[in-house]
Chain A
């Protein structure tokens, strides 16, 4: 049975699971630096479907789509702006095909890479770009929109509004926070979790959270900061498998599945609602996280 949505699922279960990385898996599967992941939706459909399927098979509640850099402004940087609608629709179709009725599909929307205050793009252009992308994701079969890895409040707000006003889907939004010298967490644009939550909830997001960053452990204080602001709002956390290093010329993400899973109890205690992974995570990481959470849950109920 295809469920109605994330908030609906959270009424009967306190913890849900999401997929892990796609982009870094493509890199290991031969995606070259600078090559567009999104083009693979058309040219390497099988490989994209395989990644989607590998996460669905774990029994997660939701998977994303291969469309993180699929907005028209970012695609214009590599001359693909006219392909935006098609590439996003395909992204959603591929994830839908893998998910069937087994899990939800979250249409991934990443930042444009432009800073509004610099004046390279206008608010209207940015809004239109996001509107085009979310609409195509909905057409392709997405159940929700996941606006992720954001750091600027104005850009994220435009994206959330574009999703709320141009689709009938639930809207999720996650920010990437960095640790400041004083020990608290802000985005590179200086935004705190509370500032983000306040603005985006009023813009119409129904689920917020944090992704990418510095690994699983660093997500715990961020979740606490969100919870200090709002004790009820559904919170999504997708951590990186640590900060990547270069070893023998290869990119290595240091956190093993067990290491990541080790922080899951604290993350649950802090009040997370949905756990998944970002850069460097694999189906093995998600499996370890799910197992740990289940063991912890049983021990505590």
Chain B
């Protein structure tokens, strides 16, 4: 029997080769993909996310872990789809218009993906109308917006206003983040929630979809 705890460890340490190899072995032994994800992968992302939050690891370690997790997830995803298992939720994420910072947003995207969400990463400098169009044309549960500049934070309000104008605001939950974002700002622009880090983004997304 493959020791799946090693999968958990390899994701935490960012070892892509090992995580892919163990995933293959586990699949050859007909382990339930759902179990692999829930028990060994999501917990790994929780651990590394917590370490990042406490400054025990930094951006490179988090990126490596996300890459190892993605490598395994790519093997599992077709099996999940084939057995009709739904993702935890469907998310579109982007950095708002005028803002080119993407490191934090990509970390949030990876953490959500690693935690079982289906994530469409729309990149940086994303205009409101693109987001509205995506919400109108696809089944989406969560719109996640990132802004690092105080000068682009108002663009998050613009997105929410545009969603309202298009009559689709209630179709989705809007979550926001970035170093200068506060709960107060979140309330002011009528977003559904904010979080200070990638780990918190996952629990926020789960909480909003459960309610």
Contact = CB atoms under 8 A, between A and B. Distances in A.
Interface of A: 27, 32-35, 77, 113, 115, 117-118, 180-182, 186-190, 243-246, 249, 251
Interface stretch (B34-42, B52-60, B133-141, B159-167): B52-60
> Taking each of A186, A243, A246, which has the highest tally of chain B beta carbons within 10 Å of its own beta carbon?
A246
A69 to B, nearest CB: 9
B149 A33 contact: yes
B36 to A, nearest CB: 25
Contacts of B151: 27, 33, 251
Contacts of B125: 34
Given A33-B99, A77-B100, A77-B124, 11 more contacts: A34-B99, A34-B152, A113-B100, A115-B59, A115-B103, A117-B60, A188-B59, A190-B57, A190-B59, A243-B180, A251-B151
B150 A245 contact: yes
A246 B180 contact: yes
Given A33-B152, A117-B60, A246 B185 contact: yes
Contacts of A187: 58
B180 A188 contact: no
A249 B158 CA distance: 13
A181 B54 contact: yes
Chain B interface size, under 10 / 10 to 19 / 20 to 34 / 35 or more: 20 to 34
B154 interface: yes
Contacts of A243: 180
A32 B98 contact: yes
A244 B58 contact: no
B58 A188 contact: yes
B63 interface: yes
The main secondary structure of chain B at its interface with chain A is loop
Contacts of B54: 181
Contact of A186 (B55, B100, B124, B153): B55
16 contacts: A33-B99, A33-B151, A77-B124, A115-B59, A117-B60, A117-B63, A118-B63, A189-B58, A189-B60, A190-B61, A244-B180, A245-B180, A246-B153, A246-B180, A249-B154, A251-B151
B97 interface: yes
> Taking each of B60, B99, B152, which has the highest tally of chain A beta carbons within 10 Å of its own beta carbon?
B60
B98 A33 contact: yes
A182 B60 contact: no
B180 A33 contact: no
A33 B55 contact: no
B72 interface: no
Contacts of B97: 33-34
Nearest to B67: A118
> Taking each of A33, A117, A181, A249, which has the highest tally of chain B beta carbons within 10 Å of its own beta carbon?
A33
B150 A246 contact: yes
Nearest to A31: B151
Contact of B60 (A33, A190, A244): A190
A192 to B, nearest CB: 11
Interface string B71-115: 000000000000000000000000001111011000000000000
Contacts of B128: none
A251 B150 contact: yes
Contact of A181 (B55, B63, B99): B55
